[in-house]
Chain A
């Protein structure tokens, strides 16, 4: 395959992926426009953006196993886009909490971060996402070289803190149905890597 076709194909597919990744946001805006954000819009927006950040995290973590299993190496070209969507929806999630939910009340937020373990985990997750987002461009990759992949292993820690964030959020109501599914998916994706490392899957 000539190089230019390869490049334009991945570019095209990445553009499609970006459009697809914006559909949940468009849906949210549509719901707002339809006045259909339920009786508690802030809660709905917080939950939907949080869920989408988690879904994109799962997708990001799926790239490597899928590439190995299928041998379809082109997939790696979409990992950055998927990872940036994690950051995008996580930012909207945090922004909703900071601005709409807490009305920028720094004291209230700070005490929540310190006192409430599920918020602590959410806060840690978001902080850990920053270095990944900042170093997501090719230039950073070139400069950081081997360090880059070390930094980007943070995604595994984030996967764990995010699940804890969600799990503890649901703990008071014993409502683990959904979070269990995500935990299982994340567990499988991380477990695959552990096995791949020691057993050459």
Chain B
């Protein structure tokens, strides 16, 4: 079981075509289902050359029915500036990231600072598959089958003090593993934050997997958050520290360009980015995207019914 998350990168030949992915349960029945149930993981030895699977139940309540973006597209078109600013950089440069051992520190306004290693986190709550839309602030979107559980599970396990109002996520910033950490693009480490009620919202997913497998490194392995109603940059990757605070934390992108990237950054077709409109988006499916027209962007990325009440009465033009 050692090094169980430290697996070879995915070759295009190993990527599951959608039709096989659609039959994944059938496919997984061939595997060690009993082991999956007991540990949540299939041991490395059984799958020497394939990415590690995560057992999970589909959460259909929170899942989109739209056409999934292909695994190839999701894993080759990434914004993960620690590994380079080109979309193709992370897939090349993140290979060397060591994701096990991995420890997440919980600190700030908690009864007692704690640490969770990745194996503890993987077992903290049952894994769910949730198909979320991801809307990037740059104007493109994907439909992604994530695997994880609500962040609220971890927050409840953290003994947070009543004075905490915000949560801050701090990503790994290791110059030895992340070649672009010295670049002046952002102030490292990458930090993001949410209001505590946003973080407690069941949609906010502590994410460990994608397409039924452990997260590829370029997608924020071994643990990230996914906040589907906010622009993608709010969903911090490769998290090493979670801090509870009383005051709104500073965030990397807000620090870099406050007029362009607000703290809230809820997906909002009414509030344009200073350099482009946010009214529409290009859906990246991984197939036939050359002539696909843009689609209308929905308020809160289509999750308004679920999350809109948290912002009742707020001026969303002011708190963009």
B86 nearest CB across to chain A (Å) = 9
Which one of A7-15, A35-43, A60-68, A191-199 contacts B? A35-43
Annotate A94-117 by CB proximity to B: 1 below 8 A, 0 otherwise.
Answer: 000000100100001001100111
Q: Select one of B85, B276, B289 contacting A39, CB under 8 A.
A: B289
Q: Is B46 an interface residue (CB 8 A)?
A: no
Asked if B275 contacts A39 (CB within 8 A), the reply is no
Q: Is A172 an interface residue (CB 8 A)?
A: yes
Give the contacts of B261-300 with A (CB-CB under 8 A): 272-277, 280, 282, 284, 286, 289-291, 293-294
Annotate A132-164 by CB proximity to B: 1 below 8 A, 0 otherwise.
Answer: 000000000000000000000000000000000
Q: Is A85 an interface residue (CB 8 A)?
A: no
Asked if A38 contacts B275 (CB within 8 A), the reply is no
**Chain A residues with CB under 8 A of B73:** 39
Asked if A39 contacts B286 (CB within 8 A), the reply is yes
Tell me the complex Cα distance, A111–B273, Å: 13
Tell me the complex Cα distance, A171–B87, Å: 17
Known: A40-B140, A42-B290. A172 touches B282 (CB 8 A): no
Rank and list the top 9 A-B pairs by shortest CB-CB distance, nearest first. Answer: A39-B77, A39-B73, A41-B290, A174-B185, A175-B85, A103-B293, A39-B284, A172-B260, A116-B275
Q: Is B34 an interface residue (CB 8 A)?
A: no
Q: Can you list 19 A-B contacts (CB < 8 A)? A: A38-B76, A38-B88, A39-B74, A39-B87, A39-B289, A40-B284, A41-B290, A108-B280, A112-B277, A116-B275, A116-B276, A117-B275, A118-B275, A173-B185, A173-B256, A174-B185, A174-B256, A177-B85, A177-B183
Closest to A44 in B: B87
**Chain B residues with CB under 8 A of A42:** 282, 289-290
Known: A40-B289, A42-B289, A174-B184. A108 touches B274 (CB 8 A): no
Q: Is B257 an interface residue (CB 8 A)?
A: yes
Which residues of B are interface residues toward A (Cβ below 8 A)?
69, 72-74, 76-77, 85, 87-88, 140, 183-186, 256-257, 260, 272-277, 280, 282, 284, 286, 289-291, 293-294
Which of under 10, 10 to 19, 20 to 34, or 35 or more describes the interface residues of A? 20 to 34
**Chain A residues with CB under 8 A of B186:** 174
**Chain A residues with CB under 8 A of B274:** 116, 172
Interface residues of A, dominant DSSP: helix
Closest to B73 in A: A39
**Chain B residues with CB under 8 A of A173:** 85, 185, 256-257
B80 nearest CB across to chain A (Å) = 13
Tell me the complex Cα distance, A100–B292, Å: 8
**Chain B residues with CB under 8 A of A103:** 293-294
Annotate A24-54 by CB proximity to B: 1 below 8 A, 0 otherwise.
Answer: 0000000010000111111100000000000
**Chain A residues with CB under 8 A of B284:** 39-40
Annotate A166-182 by CB proximity to B: 1 below 8 A, 0 otherwise.
Answer: 00110111110100000
Asked if A38 contacts B87 (CB within 8 A), the reply is yes
14 more A-B contacts (CB under 8 A) besides A32-B290, A39-B73?
Answer: A38-B88, A39-B69, A39-B77, A39-B284, A39-B286, A40-B140, A42-B289, A43-B87, A103-B293, A117-B275, A168-B275, A172-B260, A173-B85, A174-B256
Tell me the complex Cα distance, A164–B184, Å: 20
B19 nearest CB across to chain A (Å) = 18
Asked if A40 contacts B256 (CB within 8 A), the reply is no
Known: A40-B77, A41-B290, A42-B289. A108 touches B184 (CB 8 A): no
Closest to B286 in A: A39
Tell me the complex Cα distance, A112–B274, Å: 10
**Chain B residues with CB under 8 A of A43:** 87, 140
B54 nearest CB across to chain A (Å) = 23
**Chain B residues with CB under 8 A of A168:** 275
**Chain B residues with CB under 8 A of A174:** 184-186, 256-257
Closest to B285 in A: A39
B252 nearest CB across to chain A (Å) = 11
Closest to A175 in B: B85
Known: A103-B293, A174-B186. A40 touches B275 (CB 8 A): no
**Chain A residues with CB under 8 A of B294:** 103
Tell me the complex Cα distance, A122–B274, Å: 16
**Chain A residues with CB under 8 A of B290:** 32, 37, 41-42, 100
Asked if A175 contacts B185 (CB within 8 A), the reply is yes
Tell me the complex Cα distance, A140–B185, Å: 47
B190 nearest CB across to chain A (Å) = 13
**Chain B residues with CB under 8 A of A40:** 77, 87, 140, 282, 284, 289
